[in-house]
Chain A
């Protein structure tokens, strides 16, 4: 073998196996390109050809079956100057096909050599996704031929830049490998080869002609199949200036809170419930208070409710749960359903709800608002915030002046203006006359 490899005193491959020939040509190609051992990382995984790493004096990485492309991609991203070569068997191509697809798509900067001996040599000669129909070393259970999986076309279709399929008998194999190592982008070279792991196969070795005939018959011809296409672009690693956050909080002016306060916001996805709670919690935090916000949204299933709970206090809050709210804001029926019965709410709780929502009976004080006109006035993103602030001021937890002064002093960024507008609207409404009614429908002052 070439200068790149350690002396092979105990070759691990069977007599007649083509792996050694491919490895010799690969080592030769690496040497002809003038690459030093420390400039190359050979990544292998489980399978006969995965034993190759021991013969190379380069950096080597031997990982899990079919996952070699993933390790190689990580190594390449961390060491963009390293030439990363992946040696996979045909079995690894089957189990790790999706990694090949996505590494090709990402132009991962890898040189993948698929050593396809058409069967599982290191196991018991089982057939696999690359075994062509009619050539299975063991009979298929149902005797139905399976079409072999074309890793080359898969790579081409997904953005590989240099793809070829060659026979291990090809006298020009080293040149093909050299060209593959020289190419950028995601490079894949498949070598079809012979396996003599079974007695039957060893008794009747595969010839170059038989392999070529098989390739033609399957419509998987040898040759360079594709060049050009996307190239690898290393991810930018340099630090870059970031734009100002849309909403910033500066602790300039304290915010007075009359007592520990708990708010439930119940709406649907798209009603900015979580955002509203985060703005109020951020404002409270900038105002030297402590806040805790938890969320409840069904990512899978469910009916699109979005519920947030917010607790505000002058002291650190340990428990994330929020019991016995002072203010409940209800923006949608699905939000209300998620809260469950409002019957347990105490009379000192203020329920702020859209006037068109039918609510379950409650002893809580009810403040009905025209959320639809508020959407028209403020925009979708600001209604939950405005109504929560309204509830907190109306309930006497913040003073209107205190909340506005803290917001004016503590907010920064492009969203400062709409937040202030929503809070001003809330305060104006909270200190002005608003229709409230008891659950039986009789009007009352909140």
Chain B
């Protein structure tokens, strides 16, 4: 049945569908309504939802509950994700299945709680010390917020890792007509269980990319959890061979599966010389732009990235046919992900379309940018229209202020 719901409601529905039964958070706009929604869901279905004294306590309680067997989630916004930073590292080291939702807002600092902004895309990846890989997903609309919350739990459980799901103010607080029941989901993943037996080795793996079997704190057999670098028994170790084994494992269990972590929608046209790569709320504008360009007889390919980290190289490789010479990346920040794509794309020029004044990138801005390729350098700009996009063909080399259509939200 079609419903008219917010992105935050969709996140709660996806979490509940994934078996989430523990939620702790400190209220922050635009994530706040997740707590009220999930409390209502848990009152019906069972589960613990608690509002904590701060985001540190929220993620701390989630980590404790997750290691005691719960399927746990916390949600915040950029300022709160900062406070979660240390504990995200703990969750990596301790191999905690945990979903962290970042409902992005304009940053830095308090900035604007209710203005559009998706500037946490690199921060989410590098949110904690050490530099070990962390899966990061990005919702593009209400329906994908539902599906990706579910997927985030599956990845967290399967790989025993924290997973960050990025949403943003315009997804969290906006309502869209969706039919969640019609969205196909993979089977619910469960963390691999520890082998039955008296002595539990909570971090034992055969190969570096294996995921250790899970036994819960408070369960039948005592288990150890630690944020210290540890051996397979969960005991602090100073043995370099054991340290290398543990940290290689933290890297490999994610990167060896980078192909299966790719969540990308590909809409390719083999005749296209232009590829739009979009994620987050700019994806809606990209889809409308692609439809209009094609309606006008143009050729364009489009990738919607629902997973940002690890960078979905396979999908990019498949889309970057020899014909493609331009890759256009619209985003609500200063061109952060475009810069990342420049590191992996050598066969085409990556062009960044940016907006960071609290408004959305308009589809028409993208249409004009794509179609303008053959009309360079002359291009009209209406003085009545406010600047809404800054584009740089390559970072720092060429950037211009572009006229955009007036766009209310």
User: B-contacting residues of A (Cβ < 8 Å)?
Assistant: 37-38, 41, 43, 53-54, 57-64, 67, 70-79, 81-82, 98-99, 101-102, 235, 237-242, 249, 251, 264, 277-278, 281-282, 284-286, 288-300, 307, 309, 316-323, 325, 339, 344
Contacts and interface: CB of A to CB of B under 8 A. Distances in A.
B69 A239 contact: no
A57 B65 contact: no
A277 to B, nearest CB: 8
Contacts of A73: 57, 60-61, 64
Counting chain A CB atoms within 10 Å of each CB, which of B43, B60, B228 scores highest? B60
Contacts of A77: 22, 48, 50, 61, 64-65
Interface string B106-119: 00001011100000
A102 B53 contact: yes
A191 B90 CA distance: 28
Nearest to A68: B60
Given A70-B60, A77-B22, A292-B177, 10 more contacts: A59-B217, A71-B64, A78-B65, A237-B46, A281-B175, A292-B176, A298-B112, A299-B113, A309-B409, A319-B363
Contacts of A79: 68-69, 216-218
9 contacts: A38-B222, A67-B56, A70-B64, A75-B217, A78-B48, A285-B2, A318-B285, A323-B407, A323-B408
B87 interface: yes
Interface string B1-32: 11110000000000000000010100001000
A294 to B, nearest CB: 4
B4 A278 contact: yes
Contact of A78 (B4, B54, B68, B409): B68
Contacts of B285: 318-319, 321
A282 B6 CA distance: 11
Contact of A75 (B65, B228, B287): B65
A284 B177 CA distance: 9
Interface of B: 1-4, 22, 24, 29, 40, 43-48, 50, 52-54, 56-57, 60-70, 72, 86-87, 90, 110, 112-114, 141, 170-171, 173-177, 216-228, 234-236, 281, 283-285, 287-288, 359-360, 362-363, 384, 405-409
A284 B3 CA distance: 10
A74 B63 contact: yes
Nearest to A60: B224
List the 4 closest pairs (A to B, CB-CB), nearest first: A74-B64, A70-B60, A79-B218, A74-B61
B178 to A, nearest CB: 9
Nearest to B45: A239
A285 B64 contact: no
A290 B68 contact: no
A416 B177 CA distance: 20
A242 B43 contact: yes
A321 B407 contact: yes
Contacts of B407: 321, 323
A344 B409 contact: no
Nearest to B283: A318
B3 A75 contact: no
Contact of B52 (A102, A238, A240, A309): A102
Contact of A102 (B57, B69, B141, B173): B57
Contacts of A78: 22, 48, 64-65, 68-70, 218
A320 B281 contact: yes
Contacts of B226: 53, 60-62
Contacts of B64: 43, 61, 70-78
B43 A240 contact: yes
Contacts of B234: 60
A23 to B, nearest CB: 16
A63 B63 contact: yes
Nearest to B384: A344
Contacts of A62: 224-228
- The secondary structure that dominates the A interface is mixed
A67 B65 contact: no
A101 B54 CA distance: 12
Contact of B218 (A82, A277, A288): A82
A317 B176 CA distance: 8
Given A99-B57, A319-B360, A296 B409 contact: yes
A249 B53 contact: no
A295 to B, nearest CB: 5
Interface-centre pick from B173, B222, B284 (highest chain A CB count, 10 A):
B222
A38 B287 CA distance: 55
Contacts of A235: 48, 50
A99 B72 CA distance: 19
B32 to A, nearest CB: 9
Nearest to B223: A59
Contact of B61 (A71, A289, A339): A71
A320 B141 contact: yes
A295 B217 CA distance: 43
Contacts of A41: 68, 217-218
A74 B65 contact: yes
Nearest to B1: A251
A61 B48 contact: no
Nearest to A99: B57
Given A75-B64, A237-B47, A249-B4, A54 B177 contact: no
Nearest to B140: A318
A298 B111 CA distance: 11
Contacts of A38: 218-222
A238 B46 contact: yes
A339 B368 CA distance: 25
B300 to A, nearest CB: 15
Contacts of B384: 344
Contacts of B227: 62-64
Contacts of B29: 299
Which has the most chain A C-beta neighbours within 10 Å: B45, B113, B284, B408? B408
B60 A63 contact: yes
B174 A318 contact: no
Contacts of B2: 251, 285-286, 288
A58 B222 contact: yes
Given A53-B224, A59-B218, A70-B61, A249 B70 contact: no
A300 B110 contact: yes
A57 B224 CA distance: 9
A321 B57 contact: no
Contact of B288 (A70, A72, A307, A319): A319
B232 to A, nearest CB: 15
A321 B360 contact: yes
Nearest to B179: A285
Contact of A295 (B52, B90, B173): B173
Contacts of A82: 68, 217-218
Nearest to A277: B175
A57 B222 contact: yes
A301 B194 CA distance: 52
Contacts of B171: 320
Interface centre among B64, B68, B234, B409 (most CB of A within 10 A): B64
A292 B170 CA distance: 11
